[in-house]
Amino acid sequence: TIQKVIARQVFDSRANPTVEVDIVLEGGAIGRGTVPSGASKGLYEALELRDGDTSNLGGKSVHKAIQNIQTILAPALIGKDATKQSEIDELMVSLDGTENKSRLGANAILGCSMAVARAAAQQMGLPLFRYLGGANAKIIPVPMVQIIGGGAHAANSIDVQDFLVIPMQAASFEDGFAQVVNVYNATKRVFERHGKPLAIADEGGFWPTAFKTNEEGLQLLTEGILEAGYTPGKEICIALDIASSEFYDKERGTYRFELEDREFTREAFVDLICSWVENYSIISIEDGCSELDWEGSALLTKRLGTKIQLIGDDLFTTRIDRIAKGIELHACNSVLIKMNQIGTITETLDAIEFTKNHGYLPVVSARSGETEDDTIVHLAIASNAGQLKVGSVARTERLVKWNECIRMEQQLGDGAVYPSGALFSRVIH
């Protein structure tokens, strides 16, 4: 039974304020949830409530959300059975009453939802993934790891947001992750050789200083993979998060690379992406087209949907109604899953289930603003999602997630299943 709900303002990896909740149960079990925050947010995400008082932390303080927890959510939660996660989440959703959680704030609700799950797991003496996923939870996710950051995570010095890698042939998470670390360190040497200053972007990948084109990211990353001793397309494949909603001109219906001063029609932009897939060892593309451009996503899927993974992030915002629309329109073949796009653990698990049931691949993801919270790792294992995207291999708010994967793989021992690149055969024919 929930006895106490304690909420506070703490800070995320970009030094922005965020919501943290502790839930204390009768008997002493404690659960904590610390809420992440995005920079390249989707239009259709649940609302992150911030105070907007520019004299306080640039308007980003979250005291209203905390007050909503203290005055509205806490009184409703106290006395409730913490092991009834879906009932508690439904109760919070109904207390909010809006479609996008704008009354109480998705950050207020998610902090409580995460803390309740943690507290219940602790009370039952189970790891969170086992508590949420039951006896069948066993898949350690394949990592999708940022090597070069861009877009909104690097002051828009280039247009494309993430240049990532995926280990394709590793026998375990531990092996695959070590390969990715080799690629990261090798890419560092490649940057040095090209006289690029070494700095890191918001998610720990290298900052793209003095790039002349977006494609330069693909060239440097390919060089990094080779420098590490791997064959691109064999042990290691490239993934991109183009995050194209950020540079889509909705009036003109065009895509615009500021860096290169180039504007593309929908068809020309899809052609460009297809040429990148031809020329580089790309296995996955996220948000190739804008969240407003369903037609573009459908066109891209027609061209590439049986060759590589096509993920919708801003396009779907973890909402079942939008995922359903994508399935109907044959847009993408995979869904990025972010807890705070939807706002509760239950709705996140439902979105993963829906995605899997329709033959799309779920990719559980962190946000660019993160904390020491590692709930998403457990969510990925609990749901057997198969893939996890957390940013790079530097910066501790990223490593707490990857390191937890290593621990859980060890803990599951022979019971752990690591799907490796074989996972993509569900969408690639």
322 assigned binding-site residue = no
26 assigned binding-site residue = no
Contact status: 12 vs ligand PGA (CB under 6 A): no
How far apart CA 175 and CA 159 sit, in angstroms, is: 32
4 assigned binding-site residue = no
Query: Within positions 19 to 38, which residues make up the interface with ligand PGA, using CB under 6 A?
Result: 38
How far apart CA 219 and CA 280 sit, in angstroms, is: 8
Q: Among residues 43 and 171, whose Cβ is nearest to ligand PGA?
A: 43
Q: Among residues 215 and 287, whose Cβ is nearest to ligand PGA?
A: 287
Q: How far is the CB of 147 from ligand PGA (least distance, A)?
A: 15
159, 293, 313, 404: residue in contact with ligand PGA (rule CB under 6 A): 313
For residue 86 the two structure tokens come to: 């879906």
Eight-class DSSP state of 420: G
Q: What are phi and psi of 95, to 5 degrees?
A: -65, -35
Contact status: 241 vs Zn ion (CB under 5 A): yes
Contact status: 367 vs ligand PGA (CB under 6 A): yes
How far apart CA 13 and CA 406 sit, in angstroms, is: 22
Contact status: 347 vs Zn ion (CB under 5 A): no
Element (H, E) at 115: helix 106-124
Binding map of Zn ion across residues 136-175, x = CB under 5 A, - = no contact = ----------------------------------------
**Catalytic, out of 41, 60, 188, 338:** 338
40, 245, 346, 355: residue in contact with ligand PGA (rule CB under 6 A): 40
187, 244, 368, 371: residue in contact with ligand PGA (rule CB under 6 A): 368
How far apart CA 85 and CA 375 sit, in angstroms, is: 15
For residue 37 the two structure tokens come to: 């925050």
**Which three-class secondary structure state does DSSP give residue 287?**
coil
Q: How far is the CB of 28 from ligand PGA (least distance, A)?
A: 35
How far apart CA 241 and CA 152 sit, in angstroms, is: 12
How far apart CA 223 and CA 220 sit, in angstroms, is: 5
Contact status: 41 vs ligand PGA (CB under 6 A): yes
> Side-chain half-sphere of 297: how many Cα atoms within 13 Å?
34
97 Cβ contact list (under 8 Å, min separation 6): 103
Contact status: 243 vs ligand PGA (CB under 6 A): yes
Q: How far is the CB of 178 from ligand PGA (least distance, A)?
A: 24
How far apart CA 253 and CA 317 sit, in angstroms, is: 21
Sign of the torsion angle spanned by Cα atoms 77, 340, 404, 207: negative
50 assigned binding-site residue = no
Residue 203 a catalytic site member: yes
Residue 338 a catalytic site member: yes
Contact status: 149 vs ligand PGA (CB under 6 A): no
313, 347, 370, 397: residue in contact with Zn ion (rule CB under 5 A): 313
Are 169 and 234 in contact by the 8 Å Cβ rule? The answer is yes
| Residues of the binding site for (2R)-2-phosphoglycerate | 161, 338, 367-368, 389
Give the interface with Zn ion as residue ranges (CB under 5 A). 241, 286, 313
Q: By the criterion CB under 6 A, which residues form the site for ligand PGA? A: 38-41, 152, 161, 241, 243, 313, 336, 365, 367-368
